[in-house]
Structure 1
Amino acid sequence: MNIDEDTSTWLGCPTPLEMYQHQCAMLEDELIQTQAMLRKARANVAGLVQMNDLLVTRKAMAETELRLAMANLSSANIHNSEMSKEIMGLKMIASQNEHFRVENQRLQLELRVLKGPQP
């Protein structure tokens, strides 16, 4: 049996040139796929940048609205405090009015008692 026999042509074994060409074709396919993935990634990044810009704009608008609402709330609290002071003053006046009315009725009763029966 001869072991040193050249078997490279048996069963359609590729030549070194065919192997290199096949390797080049595989590398070209990988490169094409990588370029497609890169284009898709760039589009995704562009979309994310656009979404981020929109979110930043909306955040700024929300912060502006929040500051306006806080200012309105502060103004409403000041107005409420002033109204509360007015109400407390009116309640005090009403209490004094009630006290004077009761005192007036008591004095009128005393005066009738002192004057006696009227003919």
Structure 2
Amino acid sequence: MDPTDIENTDDWLGCPTPLETCRHQLTLYENEFEELNLQLRQAREQIFKLVEMHAAAATERDQLRTQLAAAKSELADAKRRTTDIETKSNWELMAKGREISELTTQIRILKGDSPFKDHFPHQRETDRT
């Protein structure tokens, strides 16, 4: 047997020829390419959906920011009105208190009492034994 024939296995049964090996490898590459294209298409669809979701969330965020700004403005107006009402109420109470004090003084004068005499004398304990 020729020593060069030992390495030549092209004619053996069950061994693929170099052309068959290349075709098989090409088929594997084509299948892998199709799978990668499918994965790429799915990834693009998912990215597109994410971009749409982001746009919708950004729109909703902007609307909520506008509503929040309006609510803050209304709150500031309500606080200002509340402060005005409280101030007016306090002034009215002070004016009524002063008027009551003046009327009480006039009643005391008309009764003949001293207007500055305390009707409710405080009892002090001066002796603590």
Same fold, TM-score > 0.5, yes or no: yes
RMSD over aligned CA atoms reads 1.9
Q: Does 1:75 align with 2:77?
A: yes
Structure 1's unaligned 5+ residue stretches are: 112-119
* Offset, 1:97: 2.2
TM-score normalised over the length of structure 1:
0.83
Which of 92, 97, 100 is the aligned partner of 1:98? 100
1:110 counterpart residue number: 112
TM-score normalised over the length of structure 2:
0.77
Report 1:11-30 matches (<5 A). 12-30=14-32
Q: Relative to total residues, which structure has the larger helix share, 1 or 2? A: 1
Amino acid at match of 1:12: G
1:56 counterpart residue number: 58
1:114 counterpart residue number: none
Q: How many residues align?
A: 111
Structure 2's unaligned 5+ residue stretches are: 114-129
Amino acid at match of 1:39: R
Which stretches of structure 1, 4 residues or longer, exceed 4 Å deviation after superposition?
A: 1-4
State the identity as a percent.
27
* Offset, 1:11: 5.3
2:87 counterpart residue number: 85
1:115 counterpart residue number: none
* Offset, 1:7: 3.5
* Offset, 1:8: 4.0
Amino acid at match of 2:16: P
